[in-house]
Chains A and B, each alone.
Chain A
Amino acid sequence: MSASAFLTVDSVTQVFPLDDGGEYIALRDINLEIRRGEFVSLIGHSGCGKSTLLNLLAGLDQASIGGILVEGRQVTEPGPDRMVVFQNYSLLPWLSVRQNVALAVNRVLRQAGAEERRQRVEHNLRLVGLQQAADKLPSELSGGMKQRVAIARALSIRPNLLLLDEPFGALDALTRGNLQEQLMQLCQEAGVTTVMVTHDVDEALLLSDRVICLSNGPQARIGQIVAVPFERPRHRLEVMQHPEYYTLRSELIGFLQQQRRLRQRRAELERQAEQVRSQASRATAVLPARGPVCTLPQASRIGFLPGLDVAPLALALERQLFDPQAVQLQPVAFNSWERLGQALRDGEIDVAITPATTPLRLSLGLDGHAPWPAITPMTVSRNGNALCIARALVEQNVSDRASLRQWLDQRQQPLHVAVPERHGMTELLLRHWLAGGDIDISNQVQFEPMWPLVMESSLRKQQIDAFIAGRYRVAAAVQERHGQVLASDHDIWADHPEKVLTCGELWASSQPETLLALCAGLMRAAERCDDSSERDALVQVLSQHQWLGQRASAALSRQFDRGDGRGLPMRFNHFHADRAHRSDPAEGCWILTQLSRWGWCPFPANRLEILSQVYRPDLYQRALEQAGFASLPLSRRAFALADGLVFDQDDPLGYLAQLPGQPTPAVRPLPLQAPSASANANATDTAAAAGSSTSSHR
């Protein structure tokens, strides 16, 4: 919270009770700061909670969670310092125009003399050009005139904050245009801070300093913030001729279109999930009712690759932290990420612990496969990677990035690095780090996907110069004195998302309870994984052969040796603390920038649509609540990697432009797979699975 903010919306969540006893979460974790004198617009589709937020600012409603500060004081009730111009004007029909304005003036300026009050009323009527109509009743006025009265009434009491709820929505284009210019002029002269709800993109651009885009409700969040840089005073024609006008306009319209498509997609998905569920229950229903009725849910298959990241899963299964009524898990181990991705697409497994890049790559269809809509409700682990170089390099004085570059410059061949997965999270991190050290990625480095299992032996046999993998693999190599750690997460991106839970969009919407129970169990286990007093128990669990086996103890030793004698402990995997589980679209946005940076896909013009489909903070929050943890709000704040370059999710292209080496990638929309195309295959899968699991009960 900076001290300069005039108005602060602090982690506001608004929940309305429903008649059926449930609740409707209209707004979730809204954080916003507005400067004095700023004009801010709220834009979004109907039902996104714009007016709810405005009512909270006015004090007409109280936020369920969080609060609103105006000049450092909390808003607890409405007051004339925060005057509202309501959507339907809210003039009192039994009072004349003059009386309507006078009601406000008389009330707010009680101490002033009658003559002063009268002058104030007349002055404000003159401002909006309504002296002639002063004695008319509101029913005798046109819509535009009524709105002018409402504005005059609002401005007459000189509020600090003016709140406008779709002020020009019901007016014809000509009247609207005139009133917009008048309002702009009046607000500027009065220096009043203004928040306006609108659904008109041009209006928002003409009037605002910033446009706040709200995502679809329920659980609406701030999807994007667009700064409008036009100089004031503004005039419509000049603004429209501004070179940036159409860029900003298409940005806003793009946002709204993406939100609309998302909503249609969610509805379609819900319909199909319903179909799948009814098919599954029909499959169960044909069974003759013999023996005890089995109420246990069918087993969900969860795929993973052995590594430290599976610690929460292993611990949760061992300690029975999953709600047995909601989820039965059958862990399936894989030895390569490619195989695991294939299994996920084919429906062999329902859900998997995957690298953080996987959900986006599956959804975009980046690896030569058709796009397959995937979602991620939570991050399973953060950190845990290290770059290990061969002894031979160490002996040639490669000890950091600069010396690596010198060494590479002298050598003819590129650096041969093994990565667990082509175009995966580890490769992105490594590329980013190497490029940051002025190493020419395309000519000086060669990445080779390799099963993590064989990386160490390849390093020993000098088939590769280095590998980047989980700390578990690196620890083994260092312990055997085959290599040395050159860099770890701390040098690249501390607390980066490493493994996330990934599942198909349709499975998530047809088995919501299962997914939530799975997430909640993983979260409970993750808390124990972070607890150093539980570490010995964790070693014991992970030492079982189906997880890591004998090497678990080396991987989990408290002082992890980098092998360079410096003895600096490597960062341990980070499972729970500091909102580690968050499913953060901003991090996904960073991944998108990197995917396009290396030319694997164009930068998606519809990034918000993609990110909102793939990243599901709503599920993250519900799972947190189910696990019994406080649901901490997501911050929209910009973050920086270890190189200090700030990444702002509202300006990913600006970030890309600052990165060294690469030309700016193409920007174009990447169509998402419609849910229907993949649904049929999946629906039959699920139905078949339901059939097979029921037959096994017989």
Chain B
Amino acid sequence: MTTTAPIGHAPRRRRRSTAAAILRPAVPYLVCIGGFLLAWQLLSLLIGVSRLPGPINVIVDTWDPYISQPFFDDGGTSKGLGWQILISLTRVAAGYGLAALVGISIGGLLGLNRFVGKGLDPVIQVLRTVPPLAWFPISLMVFQDANTSAIFVIFITAIWPIIINTAVGIREIPQDYTNVARVLRLGKADYIRSIVIPATVPYVFTGLRISVGLAWLAIVAAEMLKADGGIGYFIWDAYNAGGDSSSSQIILAILYVGIVGLALDRLVALAGRLIARGGR
């Protein structure tokens, strides 16, 4: 017995330490998020549940239908949050895709051609600081259509980081790589294919990642102003309805907006990593 006792002890101790190893990284999240939710609940109790619902109230108020049935469709604009997010994502996809296409092309041109790059730089520097919603009225006037205008706002918001990062990426191609190209006398097409594109990919994806965040910011704002459907519309609609669970609906939608934004950001980052690692 005396010999087995230590053997019996050892696994138990190890098991305990394995559990601790799994739990330990989660501890800060659990503690901090728990604290945050607690503070929120307390705050809501303090100023009144009707004005600021606490987390428990939010879940209770919106469980049916918004959380339990994300894809219900009662016709018109009364749809589940899943649908609303999908509508917004479609718009973002159109505007952002267009921005990526046009932005990379223009950025490439600006990076390769020093003359154009220098000449257009002031224009870009001015336009890129314009807030997304400032574009909205003019695009409404031009396109006469809320949906197209929203897509345009996404486009114009997302394009600048892509242009700038692509151009910088090309200008910052390490001298070593261009020296290799010069010594081997690579032609222009070869040079772009073998050196410029692979060397610029990380920069382009940095731009794309900044842009996707901006695009998501812009769509919610644009939809709040004027749109049929979409997560931004949902928030504004809930506010206007002014029902008992309005504030809970708004808070839930905000949470969804945040999660989707985070997911988009990580998705683009992942795509960038995959492409940069896999060669051209």
A residues sitting closer than 8 Å to B (CB atoms) are 58, 60, 77-80, 82-84, 86, 88, 90, 92, 94-95, 103-104, 107-108, 157
Contact = CB atoms under 8 A, between A and B. Distances in A.
Contacts of A79: 183, 185
28 contacts: A77-B182, A77-B185, A78-B179, A78-B183, A82-B183, A83-B183, A84-B179, A84-B183, A86-B176, A86-B179, A86-B180, A90-B176, A90-B177, A90-B180, A92-B177, A92-B194, A92-B198, A94-B199, A94-B201, A94-B276, A94-B280, A95-B279, A103-B194, A107-B184, A107-B186, A107-B190, A108-B184, A157-B184
A224 to B, nearest CB: 30
A60 B178 CA distance: 10
Contacts of B168: none
Contacts of A94: 198-199, 201, 276, 279-280
B195 interface: yes
Given A94-B279, A95-B279, A88 B184 contact: no
Interface of B: 176-177, 179-180, 182-186, 190, 194-195, 198-199, 201, 276, 279-280
A600 B59 CA distance: 103
Nearest to A88: B176
8 closest Cβ pairs, A-B complex: A90-B176, A94-B198, A78-B182, A78-B183, A107-B184, A94-B279, A90-B180, A84-B183
Identify which of B179, B186, B198 gathers the most chain A CB atoms within 10 Å of its CB: B179
Contacts of A60: 179, 182-183
Interface of B is mostly: helix
A92 B195 contact: yes
A90 B173 CA distance: 12
B21 to A, nearest CB: 30
B176 A80 contact: no
Contacts of B190: 107
A82 B194 CA distance: 21
Contact of A92 (B180, B185, B276): B180
A31 to B, nearest CB: 25
A79 B279 CA distance: 26
A90 B179 contact: yes
Contacts of A108: 184
A58 B194 CA distance: 21
Nearest to B177: A92
A135 to B, nearest CB: 11
B184 A58 contact: no
Contacts of A77: 182, 185
Nearest to B180: A90
B185 A80 contact: yes
Contacts of B194: 92, 103
Contacts of A84: 179, 183
Contacts of B180: 86, 90, 92
A80 B198 contact: no
A86 to B, nearest CB: 6
Contacts of A88: 176
Contacts of A92: 177, 180, 194-195, 198
A88 B176 CA distance: 8
Contacts of A82: 183
A78 B279 contact: no
A570 B90 CA distance: 100
A108 B195 CA distance: 16
A90 to B, nearest CB: 4
Identify which of A83, A86, A92, A157 gathers the most chain B CB atoms within 10 Å of its CB: A92
B6 to A, nearest CB: 44
Nearest to B198: A94
B133 to A, nearest CB: 40
A51 to B, nearest CB: 12
A406 B194 CA distance: 83
A90 B178 CA distance: 9
A163 to B, nearest CB: 9
A194 to B, nearest CB: 15
Nearest to B186: A107
Given A82-B183, A86-B176, 15 more contacts: A60-B179, A60-B183, A78-B185, A79-B185, A80-B184, A90-B177, A92-B177, A92-B195, A94-B199, A94-B279, A94-B280, A95-B198, A103-B194, A107-B184, A107-B190
Contacts of A90: 176-177, 179-180
A96 to B, nearest CB: 8
A86 B180 CA distance: 9
A92 B280 CA distance: 11
Given A92-B177, A92-B194, A80 B183 contact: yes
Contacts of B179: 60, 78, 84, 86, 90
A94 B198 CA distance: 7
Nearest to B197: A94
Contact of A107 (B177, B185, B198, B276): B185
A94 B276 CA distance: 8
Contacts of A86: 176, 179-180
Nearest to A79: B185
A86 B178 CA distance: 12
Given A84-B179, A92-B194, A103 B280 contact: no
Nearest to B194: A103
